[in-house]
Structures are given as structure tokens and as C-alpha cells.
Structure 1
Amino acid sequence: MDKNLCIIPVRGGSKGIPGKNARKIYKNISLLEWTINQAKSAFPLNNIFVSTEDHELKNITLNNGIFLVNRPMELATDDATTASVVKHLLKEVDFKCERFNSITILQVTSPLRQKKDILNALNMINQENYDSVLSVYKSDNSAAKTYILEEGNAKSLLPNYEFLSRQKLPIFYRRNGAIFSVKRELFDLTGKLWGGDLGLVIMEKERSIDIDNFEDLENARKYLNNYQEK
């Protein structure tokens, strides 16, 4: 797996939870350090990079022996995309496209992935038949009943499934943000973190918390306290 790059994009600003990514998630371990430890369990140390603009998060990164890429402030705003952060980091660490042939992103706000999930994603992205891999959980079938308004007219999001009975609907999966893996070739070509032939790493819904507010944070803490003590 020496050609697989792991990126942990993390910034200091958070409206829902001030200083969110430096807050403790389990015992005395911060969200960022927790994600770093998960990355260490699946990637060679030299393949892990953190991108951040925040002083405290930089210190956490360096104290854990991880390579740091200083993120420009214009890429640390609410409007900045993860893809733009990845593009900047690649210019810093692999400009000639010689070192890495795949990119895996671990989001700090989705801490309940496990080593097995990351390894599943890596196994799939290293195969010829996948261009990208996402972590997901089984969702309900509400997408088949969902509409958008365009110029005052309602349009079904999934017209092929709009009139099917519940028993005939396929299983729906929803991205949970824990893992994104993409081949370098596809990212360089499209600038997108997923696309092409797409594989899924299916996680349980209870492990698919994306921390956005204090309730999410407490639920994630409770899960880890219960899980780690078993």
C-alpha cells in the first residue's frame, strides 16, 4: 500500500462547535488525533498528511509525527471544497504524479469508522475494476419519494422508482463522509473525489455519525465509550 496517499483535511473554524476538531472524543484523545491513529493503523506513516491552517491542529499533527501541509486561508473557508484542498496538497507533496496512485480522505468529523473499513476501501481502490470508493450506510427509501422544484414544477429525484411499491424498491445507500478513495488518474482528470466505476464500503448506520453539533459529538462519545469497553 506504499502508493496509497492518506489525506486528513481539517480546519479550525466551526460554527456548530467552536474548536470542534481539537475536542476530546475518547478519554483524552482529540478528534484529529483519533483520526490520525486510524490512519496509522492502515497506511505507512510516510503516506499520511494533514492539511490545516489552524495553529492548535498543526501542533496536534506534529506531536503525532505526521507530515503537515500548511493550508492557505482561502482554502479554510466555508466555501472551500475538499477537492480544492486535495489539489493544493498534491501540488505540495506529489507535483509530478510519481509517488501516489490513489488518494484516501479520512474526515475528522466521522470518527466511527474502523480499521476494517479503511482496509476494505484500500483493497477496492487497488483493484482494476474500481475508480473510486465511498463509505455509506443503508438508508430508508425516502429518496424515491423526494421531489425538487424547478421553475415552480415538481420533479422526482428518482423518476424510475417513483411509482414502485416499497417491496419492489432497491436498497438505498447514503454517503456518511467517513472514507473517500479515488484513483489519482480520475482525480487529475475530473477534479472530483468520486466517479467512474464506484465501489461502496457499507458501514452500520450507528457508526455513520457526522459530527456537526454537540448532540452528534455526545452520541459519538457514547458509542466509543460503549464499544471500547466491550
Structure 2
Amino acid sequence: MKRAVAIIPARGGSKGIPGKNLKPFLGEPLIAHAIRAALAAETVSDVVVSSDDPGILDVAARYGAIGVLRPAEIAGDEASSEAALLHAVEACRACEDAETIVFLQCTSPLTTPDEIDLVVRTRDRLAADTAFSVVEVHAFLWEIASDGTGIGVNHDASKPRQRRQDRPEQFRETGAIYALRKSGFIEAGQRFFGKSVPVVLSDATEIDLDTPRDWKVLEAYASAFEG
């Protein structure tokens, strides 16, 4: 398998949870969990952290990652993760001969090295352009029309409610792990291009760290699980 480099975007600003990337999660900075998982993955050769915050880059270096200082113009609230990835690919020498870019999110601190390896190896095995982590979901989704009426998205509300086992399998993108063919990603400028394959993570949690409540719930879950 050719070289894969993990890139972790980590801005200094955060409205939902101020300073979240350096906030202690289970006793260590949030970003440390993503770095450690990536460094322990067999498929990953180097770990790069892209940030506009020198404090985050200092912590990243302490945990063994390569830091890339992100320009202010791609570090605001409206800046995309893809912009940070593309800049890091261009700015970091470790990415020069990488065939795969592994995009990881700090907000999934329970991501494991085995999960990273599964996504990277699946992309390679299926000759995909993008492989990404998903979890199976069983929710009945609704849209709300302008008059307040509910419209079934993945079910027909006019028919008897289906049993879970009778419904087609459906999956939610976790946002935690993406393995991207580097050359195609550079050309497309976005994470989904060409052949994209979902990779089911059977034991992954479905909690995103967007609010202080999410933080408390996930940390409690992780503490109970580890105990």
C-alpha cells in the first residue's frame, strides 16, 4: 500500500464550544486524541495538523504531529475543511509523495486506529476515490413544509409503519474519517468525487461535539465505556 498522510484541521476559533480543540477531553487536549489514533494506525505514515492558532500547533507538535500554519483567509467561520486540506497538501513536504490523504476530525475523539485502517484499506481494496466512515441508522426522517405539514423523507407516512427489520439499510456519514485519493482530491477540490464508498463502523458512536451538552454526554459515555 502506498503512503497515506493524515491531516487534521483544527481552527483556533469555535462558537459552539469555545477553545474546544485545546479543551481537555478525558484529561487531554481534544486534538491529542485524533493525533494519537492517527499515529497508531498502521496505514498512516505521518500526521499533519492545520491550524491558525500557534497554541494548537504547539500542542500538536508535543503529541508528534507536523504543524502547518493556516492563513487567516481560510481560517474563518465560512472557510471549508477542503480549503485547509488543500493548503496543507501544498505546504507540507510530508504530503508530497502521499497517494492517500486521510482527513480526520477532532470532534470525533473516540475514533480508533483500527477504524482509520479499515477506511484507508477499503479505499485501496475497492480502488475508490473516496472512502468514508458511516454508521447504520434506523431513524424515521421528516421534512416540515411551509404550512407545518410533516413530509416523510425515508418512509411513506400514509402506509402502516414498517418494522425496523423490514426497512432497507440506511447509513449516516459520521464525519470522522475520509480517505481521499490525493491527485483526484486536488483536481476536484472536494471530499466526494469519482467513486465514493461508505465504510460501516459497527461500534462507532453517533455523538458530534457541537455543543457543551454534546461534550458532557460523550465524555460521560467514554468514561463509562473505559470503566
Matches within 5 A, 1:189-200: 189-200=187-198
The change in CA–CA distance for 1:195 and 1:141 in structure 2 (over 3 A counts) is farther
Any gaps of 5 or more consecutive residues in structure 2?
Answer: none
Cα deviation for residue 94 of structure 1 reads: 5.3
Matches of 1:45 and 1:120, distance apart in 2: 12
Match of 1:8 in 2: 8
The reply on whether 1:41 has 2:40 as its aligned counterpart is: yes
Measured in 2, the distance between the counterparts of 1:138 and 1:208 equals 10
What is residue 63 of structure 1 aligned with on the other side? 62
How many angstroms does 1:93 deviate by? Answer: 2.2
Which residue of 2 is the match for residue 223 of structure 1?
Answer: 221
Note closer, same or farther for the CA distance 1:134–1:46 as it changes in structure 2 (3 Å cut).
closer
> SS of the counterpart of 1:199?
strand
Q: In angstroms, what is the RMSD of aligned CA positions?
A: 2.9
Q: What does the per-residue CA deviation read over 1:58-111, in whole Å, with 9 as the maximum and x for residues that have no partner?
A: 11012123211000111111110011111111111259x850111111100111
Q: 1:124 to 1:204 in 2, by over 3 A?
A: closer
Deviation at 1:139, TM superposition (A): 1.7
Spell out, residue by residue over 1:147-205, the C-alpha distance to the aligned partner (whole angstroms, 9 max, x if none). 4769xxx99866xx657763553111111111111111321231111233222222357
**Which residue in the other structure is 2:120 paired with?**
122
- Structure 2 residue aligned with 1:72: 71
Contact 1:110–1:208 (CA<8 Å) still a contact in 2? no
Question: Which residue does 1:180 correspond to in 2?
Answer: 178
Deviation by residue 1:116-156 (Cα, 9 ceiling, x = unmatched): 2111011112224322111111122434xx44769xxx998
TM-score relative to the length of structure 1: 0.84
Moved segments of 4+, more than 6 Å:
none
Of the structure 1 ranges 200-209 and 74-83, higher mean CA displacement relative to structure 2 is found in 200-209
Superposed displacement of residue 31, structure 1: 0.6
Letter in 2 for 1:72: P
The residue type paired with residue 68 of structure 2 is V
- Pairing of 1:121-200 with structure 2 (within 5 A): 121-143=119-141, 146-147=142-143, 162=156, 166-167=162-163, 169-200=167-198
Q: Which letter does structure 1 place at the counterpart of 2:169?
A: I
Hey, what's the Cα distance between the residues in 2 that align with 1:214 and 1:81? 23
% of aligned pairs identical?
27
CA distance in 2, matches of 1:170, 1:45: 34
Count of residue pairs the alignment pairs up: 222
**More moved, 97-106 vs 61-70:** 97-106
Is the 8 Å Cα contact of residues 2 and 47 (structure 1) preserved in structure 2? no
